Amino acid sequence: MSAAEMISDVATSSARRSRVNAMVRRSDTALLGLIALITLVAVATLSDFRTLSNINNLLNTTALIAIVAIGEAVVILARQIDLSVGAILGICAYLVGEWSGHFSGPFGPVIGVLLALALGAGFGLGNALLVNVFKMPAIIATLATLSIYTGLQIIVNNGSQLYLTQVPKWLAGLRGNAWFGIGTFIWIAAIVLVAVSFILRRTRFGRDVYALGSNPEAAAYLGVKIRLRTFQIFALCGALAGLGGLLYTSQFGNVDATAGNGMNLTVIAAAVVGGVSLFGGAGTALSAVLGALLLGEIQNVLELTRISIFAEQTLQGAAIVIAVAVYAVVSRRLRRPVRREAFLSEHPTLNPAAIEAAGGTSNG
């Protein structure tokens, strides 16, 4: 075997090995395993879990959380955070529900969805404005807008409630509808997942998000347009929260001033549990979806076991802690850097002894 052959042989086999490794080491794979395990146990022990209506309920709730969590994931990936998504969702749920009554006809749904996205994006731009123009840390800026947007929500609904009967038929029926046996919510979540995954992986914008999250200084040095990207990132997150608001109206029927309360921490938890690094740069849209699925499942199982409703929230929190702790230990082990003496030991081309051996000049 010539030296060149030997080198390329080693190169391809090590590349193949590392790709298999990479697959196994993917945090998504570990999380999927955990979800499958909980599902199996729940199916085996809880008869209510297997019912079609429960599965539907679980998936619908998860789809709603997942859509908002995907938006949050994009923000976190860029080493920012958005604490206002719950408020954006709430105010959009109310406004879209109220205004979409004016658009009937075949284009009603299209206008409704666009309206939700645009409204949400507008609120997201408000967040980005504070971050960009006033140089506020995102955590402070969005904590402020959380309060502002919630306040706006109270002002616009003026103490009243929106009932399912007040919204157009297409919106009220969204939750119950299905295409090819799969609920509309799940289709919408799937479309969002595919679209955002594509954006993150295959567009300059997406790669800039990862670069900003992984090393902001280096990204700036490379010429990433940080201000523009910040506007886009928060707008995308806001738009998805707005879309979540549309689904919320259909899901719960009545929308009041508390709509979306508590959603912030749920979606952040979903993204982080799913494997999006709070320090940015690592994770995918799929991570957020899997995280939402895990949280949704834990909540569902707790409800079905009929443990006191008072204890439920505490138990849910505890379950999250346990899941994240287990997962953190596992993934830390997986992520541990390969201890090796840099490139030499595995690089026959650079090892003088190997070169000599391959060249056949070795004299023992």
Partner 1 sequence: MSDPRAVSESDKLVAPPIVELRGIKRSFGGLQALSGVSMTLRRGEIVGLLGENGAGKSTLVKILTGVLEPDGGQIVIDGEIRRVSNPRVARELGIAATYQEPAVFPDLDVAENLFAGRQPTRRGIIDWGSMYKTAEEVFREIGVDLDPHVPLYQLGIADRQIIEIAKSLISGARVLILDEPTSVLSSREVDSLFILLNSLRERGISLVFVSHKLDEVKAITDRVVVLRDGALVAEKPTADVSVSELVQMMCGRAIGELYPSLTRVAGDTILEVKHLTRRGYFQDVSFTLRRGEILGLAGLVGAGRTELAEAIFGISQAESGTMTLDGVAYTATSPRHAVRVGIAYLPEDRLSNGLVMGMRVPFNMTMTVWGRIANRFGRFRTRVMYRQSAELAARVQLQAGRLNQLTSSLSGGNQQKVVLGKWLATEPRILILDEPTHGIDVGTKAEVLGIVAELAATGVAVIFISSELEEVRAMSTRLLVMREGSVVAEFATPVDAHVILEAASGVDAKHES
Q: Judged by CB, which is closer to partner 1: 105, or 364? A: 364
Q: How far is CA 341 from the centre of its chain?
A: 36
In whole angstroms, the minimum distance from the beta carbon of 100 to partner 1 comes to 33
Cβ neighbourhood burial of 359 (10 Å; 0-12, 13-18, 19+):
exposed
In whole angstroms, the minimum distance from the beta carbon of 128 to partner 1 comes to 22
Q: Judged by CB, which is closer to partner 1: 21, or 147? A: 21
Interface with partner 1 by CB under 8 A: which range of 7-15, 67-75, 239-247, 249-257?
7-15
Q: Give CA–CA dist 155/6, Å, rounded.
A: 73
In whole angstroms, the minimum distance from the beta carbon of 24 to partner 1 comes to 14
Of 339, 353, 113, 50, the residue nearest 242 (C-alpha): 113
Site string for partner 1, 156-195 (x = CB under 8 A): ----------------------------------------
Interface with partner 1 by CB under 8 A: which range of 151-159, 212-220, 262-270, 284-292?
212-220
135 is an interface residue for partner 1 by CB under 8 A? no
342 is an interface residue for partner 1 by CB under 8 A? yes
Q: Give CA–CA dist 231/195, Å, rounded.
A: 19
Query: Residue 267 corresponds to which amino acid?
Result: V
Q: Judged by CB, which is closer to partner 1: 112, or 213? A: 213
Task: Give the C-alpha distances (Å, rounded to integers) separating 128 from 20, 284, 316, 331.
Answer: 40, 22, 32, 32
In whole angstroms, the minimum distance from the beta carbon of 342 to partner 1 comes to 3
Q: Judged by CB, which is closer to partner 1: 50, or 202? A: 202
Beta-carbon contacts of 187 under 8 Å, excluding residues fewer than 6 positions away, are 179
221 is an interface residue for partner 1 by CB under 8 A? yes
Hey, CA dihedral for 199, 293, 63, 311, is it positive or negative? negative
Q: Give CA–CA dist 352/159, Å, rounded.
A: 79
11 is an interface residue for partner 1 by CB under 8 A? yes
Among 56, 57, 166, 215, binds partner 1 (CB under 8 A): 215
Of 166, 208, 209, the residue nearest 70 (C-alpha): 209
227 is an interface residue for partner 1 by CB under 8 A? no
In whole angstroms, the minimum distance from the beta carbon of 66 to partner 1 comes to 23
In whole angstroms, the minimum distance from the beta carbon of 218 to partner 1 comes to 4
Interface with partner 1 by CB under 8 A: which range of 87-95, 229-237, 325-333, 338-346?
338-346
282 is an interface residue for partner 1 by CB under 8 A? yes
7 is an interface residue for partner 1 by CB under 8 A? yes
DSSP per position, 11-62: HHHHHHHHHHHHHHH-HHHHHHHHHHHHHHHHHHH-GGGGSHHHHHHHHHHH
Of 129, 138, 134, the residue nearest 84 (C-alpha): 138
Strand partners, 182: 179
Among 49, 123, 185, 210, binds partner 1 (CB under 8 A): 210
Rounded to 10 degrees, the C-alpha dihedral 145/156/110/174 comes to: 100
Residues that bind partner 1 (CB under 8 A): 7-8, 10-11, 14-15, 18-19, 22, 201-204, 206-207, 210-211, 213-215, 217-219, 221-224, 277, 280-282, 335, 337-344, 346-353, 356
